[in-house]
Amino acid sequence: MTAAAITMASVLSLSACGGGEQAAQPSASGGGDKQQVEVFSWWTGPGEADGLQAMRKIFEQQNPTLTFFDAAVAGGSGDKAKALLQSKLQADTPPDTFQGHAGAELQGYIKAGDLEELNSIYDELKLREAFPEQLVEQISVDGKIYSVPVNIHRSNVLWFNPTVLKDAGVAGAPKSIDEFVAAMEKVKAKGKIPLSIGSEWTVTHLLESVLLGSLGTDGYNALFKAGADWNSAEVTKALESFKTILSYAGDPQDDWQPAAKQVADGEAAFNIMGDWAYGYFHNPPEGGLGKTSKTDFDWAPSPGTEGSYLWLSDSFTLPKGAKNRDGAVAWLKVAASKEGQDAFNPLKGSIPARKDADQSLYTDYLADALKDWASNKLAGSIQHGVAVNQPWLASINEAVGLFIGTKDVAALQKALADAATANAQ
């Protein structure tokens, strides 16, 4: 487990939903007989830290005998946090609750016996009715649920520059992979970058959208079940499309932000990235690019994925042996609540996992996301912890990293099939 944590700390460096690079300074407020509740996360950057504090305020108002201890650890996608968390769990000194991506990412903790199941909380709060049925199904393990999703992010978003598309004679966002390739060819002829990419993990992020767009929701979801056929002709076709799409990519940027900026600045036409990019495009210059939606940038489902929501979710857990178990349960109830999720998500730049959100709080891109979340079929992200566990993701990232250099589809497909055989449950 320690080796896996260290490996993932390297391959997930600066992935999505990450914190800033400032060192977190845990602190506790209150005094007297108040009991601390240690909440472990990687939310230290603008927006995400604000959202966490908004939930903290509700938590302390509703629980006057408890005080919130912010144990956030800075670092993109929780790479540093996950490594520290693993050492705490192995030392039997768990935090009272910790953040993780809902889905397969938590399987290592579950198998190690580190987490309590939360079925009783789901029953008490009627969360099976509050969350979409497909979401509950995708985060359940043998009928047991081990996390409370506090938000939803979307992975399969095509960000584009309307002016660059217009100048290239592209009428709008391409709806299919074939249309996408044709559009990029037109952009290339005009001397612009057809597709911007960032560091290696962003290419795995691109791959999951191409697989979904090629195979459809049911075919994509089937890849992560025991006995799935990663050697099929359909997967081969999807990987050939991936190779073609990647051939239109510009020089890799250091991470997703500079790649997204190429679109916002009109240097590139397209970028496939999660919806955390919306805040980067839209927020004022202190925390973003200060761009105008529908003018400087626009969005659509990634090609071939309309009607499918490739999701990921930040969630909270209940570790076994928590010092303040009752306090942790109280925190989970706030994280699960409509009030808590509506306080957190508009600041975080995500939408609630709950179906009964106050829709007036979610505007512009977030309004589109809320509507699609309520109606689309769901598929779990590979790169962001839903569809595959951490060792499986490490193998996929290794295969994609090699493919970037070799462009060998057969070798990539074999590596993906081998990874599935080794890790699928």
Q: Which of 69-78, 175-184, 377-386 has the highest mean pLDDT?
A: 175-184
**Residue-wise over 247-271: b if at least 16 C-beta within 10 A, else e?**
ebbbebbebbbebbbbbbebebbbb
The SS3 assignment for 159 reads strand
Q: What is the pLDDT of residue 3?
A: 39
Mean pLDDT of 415-420: 98
Q: What is the pLDDT of residue 78?
A: 66
Domains of the chain, start order: 2-152+311-380 (3.40.190.10), 154-307+386-423 (3.40.190.10)
Categorize the per-residue pLDDT at 390 as very low, low, confident or very high, splitting at 50, 70 and 90.
Answer: confident
Strand partners, 154: 311
Q: Enumerate residues 6+ apart whose C-beta is below 8 A from 154.
A: 274, 275, 309, 310, 311, 369, 372, 373
The SS3 assignment for 132 reads coil
Instruction: Please tell me the distance from the alpha carbon of residue 288 to that of residue 284, in angstroms, as a whole number.
Output: 5
Contact 202, 11 (CB under 8 A): no
pLDDT per residue over 289-319, tens digit each? 999 999 999 999 999 999 999 999 999 999 9
Among 94-98, 208-212, 277-281, the least confident range: 277-281
Which 3-state string (H, E, C) describes 83-121?
HHHHHHHHCCCCCCEEEEECCHHHHHHHHCCCECCCHHH
Is 171 or 24 the better-scoring residue by pLDDT? 171
Q: What is the pLDDT of residue 33?
A: 79
Among 24-28, 86-90, 92-96, 407-411, the least confident range: 24-28
Instruction: Please tell me the distance from the alpha carbon of residue 234 to that of residue 201, in angstroms, as a whole number.
Output: 24
Contact 329, 318 (CB under 8 A): yes
Residue 40: closest CA among 107, 109, 104: 109
Q: In the predicted model, what is the mean pLDDT of the chain?
A: 90
Instruction: Please tell me the distance from the alpha carbon of residue 359 to that of residue 218, in angstroms, as a whole number.
Output: 29
Mean pLDDT of 67-83: 81
pLDDT per residue over 33-68, tens digit each? 799 999 999 888 777 888 899 999 999 999 999 999
CB atoms within 10 A of CB 106: 22
Is 163 or 8 the better-scoring residue by pLDDT? 163
Q: What is the pLDDT of residue 11?
A: 35
Strand partners, 158: 272, 300
Residue 377: closest CA among 156, 147, 144, 149: 156
Q: How far is CA 96 from CA 37, 91, 93, in A?
A: 6, 14, 9
To the nearest whole percent, how much of the chain has pLDDT over 70?
Answer: 91
The SS3 assignment for 258 reads helix
Q: What is the pLDDT of residue 151?
A: 95
Strand partners, 38: 69
Dihedral, 385, 9, 320, 99 alpha carbons, nearest 10: -60
Instruction: Please tell me the distance from the alpha carbon of residue 248 to that of residue 258, in angstroms, as a whole number.
Output: 17
Contact 342, 358 (CB under 8 A): yes
Q: Could you write out the DSSP letters of every residue in 223-238?
A: TTSTT--TTSHHHHHH
Contact 309, 376 (CB under 8 A): yes
Q: What is the pLDDT of residue 16?
A: 45
Q: What is the pLDDT of residue 77?
A: 56
**What is the H or E stretch that residue 256 is in?**
helix 256-264
Q: What is the pLDDT of residue 425?
A: 67
